[in-house]
Amino acid sequence: MNVQQRVFSGVQPTGNLHLGNYLGAIKRFAELQDSFDCIYCVVDMHAITPDMRVWGGPSELSRNIREVTAAYLAAGIDPTRHIVFNQSQVSGHAELAWVFNCVSRLGWLNRMTQFKEKAGKDRENASVGLYAYPNLMAADILLYHATHVPVGEDQKQHIELTRDIAQKFNNDFAESIAANGLGRGEEGGYFPLTEPLIGGPAARVMSLRDGSKKMSKSDPSDLSRINLTDDADAVASKIRKAKTDPEPLPTELDGLKGRPEAENLVGIYAALSGSGKEEVLANYGGGQFSTFKGALVELAVEKLGPIGNEMKRLVADPGHIDAVLRDGAERARAIADVTMRQVKDIVGFVR
Ligand code: AMP
Ligand code: TRP
Structural domain includes residue 54: yes
Q: Is the predicted pLDDT of residue 4 greater than 80, yes or no? A: no
Task: Report CA-CA distances (Å) from 243 to 264, 269, 290.
Answer: 10, 15, 12
**In this structure, which residue's CA is closest to atom 6 in ligand 1?**
11
Ligand minimally distant from the alpha carbon of residue 41: 2
What is the Cβ-side half-sphere exposure of residue 278, based on CA atoms within 13 angstroms? 1
Domain that holds residue 275: 222-313
Instruction: Please say if 213 is a catalytic residue.
Output: no
Could you give the strand order of the β-sheet that contains 83-86, starting from the edge strand earlier in sequence?
A: 83-86, 37-42, 6-11, 148-150, 195-197
Mean pLDDT computed over 230-236: 97
Q: What is the pLDDT of residue 339?
A: 98
CA distance 287 to 127: 50
Distance 119 CA to ligand 2 centre (A): 17
Do 234 and 125 reside in the same domain of the chain? no
The predicted-structure confidence for 267-305, as pLDDT tens digits, reads as follows 999 999 999 999 999 999 999 999 999 999 999 999 999
Q: What is the mean pLDDT of residues 149-175?
A: 98
Ligand index nearest the alpha carbon of residue 112: 2
18 and 81 in one domain?
yes
Q: Residue 3: pLDDT above 50? A: no
66 inside domain: yes
**Residue whose C-alpha is closest to residue 32's, from 88, 75, 66:** 75
pLDDT of residue 185: 80
Cα 306 from Cα 303, distance rounded (Å): 7
Which ligand is nearest to the Cα of residue 214, counting in written order? 1
Quote the CA–CA distance of 87 and 44 in Å, as a whole number. Answer: 6
- Residues 282 and 325 occupy one common structural domain: no
What separation in Å is there between the alpha carbon of 187 and the centre of ligand 1?
32
- Among 114, 140, 159, which residue has the most ligand 2 atoms within 8 Å of its CB, making it the best to mutate? 140
Q: How confident is the model at residue 25 (pLDDT cuts 50, 70, 90)?
A: very high
Is 214 annotated as catalytic? yes
User: Is there a single domain that holds both residue 29 and residue 100?
Assistant: yes
The answer to whether residues 308 and 340 belong to one domain is no
User: Which mutation among 6, 7, 12, 48 tests ligand 2's pocket best, with the greatest number of atoms within 8 A of CB?
Assistant: 12
Q: Does residue 210 sit within a domain?
A: no
Asked whether residue 28 is assigned to any structural domain, the reply reads: yes
Give domain status of residue 249, yes or no. Answer: yes
Judge if 130 and 255 occupy the same domain: no
Specify whether 28 is located in the same domain as 134.
yes
Does 118 participate in catalysis according to the annotation?
yes
pLDDT of residue 38: 98
User: What CATH number corresponds to the domain at position 185?
Assistant: 3.40.50.620
Shared domain check, 136 and 162: yes
Give how many domains the chain has, as a whole number.
2
Dihedral, CA atoms, 134, 136, 140, 145, nearest 10 degrees? Answer: 80
- Regarding whether 149 and 118 lie in a shared domain, the answer is yes
162 C-alpha vs ligand 2 centroid, how far in Å?
A: 11
Pair 80, 126 in one domain: yes
Distance 181 CA to ligand 1 centre (A): 38
Ligand 2 pocket mutation, candidates 11, 115, 148, criterion most atoms within 8 A of CB: 11
* Separation in Å, CA 207 to CA 14, 201, 250, 275: 18, 15, 21, 21
How far apart are alpha carbons 250 and 114 in whole angstroms?
A: 33
Q: What are the pocket residues of ligand 2 if the criterion is a CB atom closer than 6 Å to any ligand atom? A: 8-10, 12, 43, 46, 137, 140-141, 149, 151, 155, 158
Residue 217 lies in a domain: no
Mean pLDDT of 312-325: 98
Residue 138 placed within a domain: yes
Q: What ligand 2 atom has the least distance to the C-alpha of 140?
A: 12
Q: Whose CA is nearest to atom 10 of ligand 1?
A: 151
Is residue 21 within 8 A of residue 218, CB to CB? The reply is no
Residue 1 has pLDDT above 80, yes or no: no
Average pLDDT for residues 145-170, to the nearest whole number? 98
In a domain? residue 123: yes
Phi, psi at residue 265, to the nearest 5°? -65, -35
Say yes or no: 72 and 196 in one domain.
yes
The Cα–Cα gap between 193 and 145 comes to: 9
CATH of the domain at 226: 1.10.240.10
Tell me: do 43 and 64 sit in the same domain: yes
SS3 150: strand
